């Protein structure tokens, strides 16, 4: 008698989602370091900083909920509708209209279990295989782009990407621009997607670039998806003038994570009713309903407008100062002839470092730094969807400055030492 095999065979879907990938490596590193290696300098993940004033606000809200027994019980005991708590949806719409002058209705808003889930739904709803046999893709008009998108397609080959134009500036800076001359919208393009500020580089696409992308999307009858996880009007981790934009053909995503609530997993989609209705249906199928805690904590702050004040007057100045300090640490650490470039930090929580003609790959640099208790993210993971290799992708790393500044300083010093060592070994 043949002994049954204990090895489990997975479907294509199962194999796709369990394969080794950048976002899995990032979150695995993050979780293990937090639980097993307290000495690890966590300079890779997108965790927000624990801003004292903001954390106090959430503590006060939690305390108030405990005193409001009816509201506390409702938060923990009840299921909300799949689209989200109706009062929360109305508050989001009212807040956006008040701050931007838009005409958003509660029906244009849907909640998801975090921004990552929002993009899993959106990408697979809009692109992939269609009933007529066609295969459509998401266009990333500027790459590098967010690591978390890369492996979200249920079908293979979900993305097509355009390398950014690199503009070199003064004081070892550079900036990415959309290469509109080579941007083509073909019939296989289902939607255009950008993050603003861009994760990983901290680049903020200009109002002109966003307007051109919006026009292209509208002319071709496809959505423009704007990932606003770090942007305006909340959480406001953006350091340059950039007007928020929304229209019927635009899908805007927001999040409570960067407001200091990543553990509540609360993503927000602002879109046409056709999109939000589909998102609501997907939520019902996959998870019945969403997490109530983030919605309940943030609700009165949205209704009063205080959330915009928190974003503008606390969060934005905090991260802008952090960015300036981290850049100073960088200049001090690379105070010799070791070549380095840093992307203009216009928003988000990151330094995006480029080491031209780096003798080792960014993945090898990641491993060497990990051995010295510094976790960064290898740049190669952010360059998916390209039709041919780009050497630039092997020369970059993402470094967060949301950790305490003494950790950021120590980490940057070690990064400089390892990069310097790599260049010197090449010369030898």
Lowest mean pLDDT among 98-102, 326-330, 334-338: 334-338
Residue 134 class from Cβ within 10 Å (0-12 exposed, 13-18 middle, 19+ buried)? Answer: exposed
Q: What value does the mean pLDDT take over residues 15-43?
A: 67
Q: ∠266-289-304 over CA atoms, to 5°? A: 45
pLDDT score, position 122 = 97
pLDDT score, position 30 = 57
pLDDT score, position 6 = 63
pLDDT score, position 4 = 53
Query: Sorting pLDDT into bands at 50, 70 and 90, what band is 354?
Result: very high
> Is residue 402 within 8 Å of residue 349, measured between CB atoms?
yes
What does the block give as tokens for 163? Answer: 């390398």
pLDDT score, position 3 = 52
Cα within 13 Å of Cα(207), Cβ side: 7
The 10s digit of each residue's pLDDT in 381-395 is 999 999 999 999 999
Measure the CA–CA gap between 34 and 40, rounded to whole angstroms.
8
From 413, 409, 383, 422, select the one nearest 160 (Cα to Cα): 383
Assess whether pLDDT exceeds 80 at residue 102: yes
The top-scoring range by mean pLDDT among 17-31, 43-57, 148-162, 303-317 is 303-317
Q: What value does the mean pLDDT take over residues 87-114?
A: 97
Measure the CA–CA gap between 251 and 276, rounded to whole angstroms.
10
Between 122 and 39, the more confident residue is 122
pLDDT score, position 13 = 75
Neighbours of 177 (CB within 10 A): 14
Q: What value does the mean pLDDT take over residues 169-188?
A: 96
Residues with Cβ within 8 Å of 200's Cβ and at least 6 positions away in sequence, in order, are 144, 146, 147, 350, 352, 377, 379, 382, 398
Measure the CA–CA gap between 97 and 345, rounded to whole angstroms.
28
What does the mean pLDDT of the chain come to?
Answer: 92
Query: Sorting pLDDT into bands at 50, 70 and 90, what band is 9?
Result: confident
Q: Which domains does the chain have, with CATH numbers?
A: 17-54+310-427 (3.90.1150.10), 78-307 (3.40.640.10)
Assess whether pLDDT exceeds 70 at residue 297: yes
Tell me how far CA of residue 119 lies from CA of 78, 264, 282, in angstroms: 26, 17, 12
The torsion angles phi and psi of 199, rounded to 5 degrees, stand at -100, 110
pLDDT score, position 215 = 98
């Amino acid at each position: 008698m043949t002994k049954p095999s204990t090895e489990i065979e997975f479907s294509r879907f199962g194999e796709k989602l369990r394969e080794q990938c950048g976002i899995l490596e990032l979150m695995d590193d993050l979780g293990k370091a937090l639980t097993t290696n307290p000495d690890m300098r966590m300079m890779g993940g997108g965790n927000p900083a624990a801003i004292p004033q903001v954390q106090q606000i959430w503590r006060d809200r939690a305390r108030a909920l405990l005193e409001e027994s009816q509201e506390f019980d409702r938060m923990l005991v009840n299921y909300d509708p799949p689209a989200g708590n109706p009062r929360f949806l109305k508050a989001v719409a009212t807040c956006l209209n008040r701050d931007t002058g838009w005409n958003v209705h509660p029906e244009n808003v849907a909640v998801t279990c975090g921004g990552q889930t929002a993009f899993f739904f959106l990408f697979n709803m809009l692109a992939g295989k269609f009933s007529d046999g066609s295969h459509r893709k998401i266009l990333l008009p500027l790459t590098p782009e967010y690591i978390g998108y890369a492996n979200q397609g249920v079908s293979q080959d979900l993305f097509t990407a355009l390398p950014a134009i690199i503009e070199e500036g003064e004081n070892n800076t550079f900036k990415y621009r959309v290469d509109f001359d080579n941007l083509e919208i073909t019939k296989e393009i289902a939607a255009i997607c950008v993050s603003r500020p861009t994760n990983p580089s901290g680049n903020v696409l200009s109002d002109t670039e966003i307007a051109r992308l919006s026009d292209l999307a509208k002319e071709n009858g496809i959505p423009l998806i704007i990932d606003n996880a770090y942007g305006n009007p909340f959480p406001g981790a953006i350091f340059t003038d950039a007007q928020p934009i929304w229209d019927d053909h635009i899908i805007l995503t927001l999040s409570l994570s960067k407001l200091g609530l990543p553990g509540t997993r609360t993503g927000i989609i602002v879109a046409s009713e056709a999109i939000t209705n589909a998102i609501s249906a997907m939520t019902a199928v996959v998870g019945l309903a969403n997490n109530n805690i983030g919605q309940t904590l943030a609700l009165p702050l949205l209704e009063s407008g205080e959330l915009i004040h928190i974003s503008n007057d606390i969060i934005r100045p905090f991260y802008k100062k952090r960015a300036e300090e981290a850049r100073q640490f960088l200049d001090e650490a690379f105070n010799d002839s070791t070549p380095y470039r840093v992307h203009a930090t216009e928003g988000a929580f990151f330094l995006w470092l480029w080491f031209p003609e780096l003798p080792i790959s960014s993945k090898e640099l990641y491993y060497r730094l990990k051995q010295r208790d510094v976790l960064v993210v290898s740049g190669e993971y952010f360059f998916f969807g390209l039709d041919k290799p780009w050497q630039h992708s092997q020369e970059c790393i993402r470094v967060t400055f949301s950790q305490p500044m003494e950790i950021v300083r120590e980490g940057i010093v070690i990064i400089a030492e390892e990069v310097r060592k790599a260049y010197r070994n090449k010369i030898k």
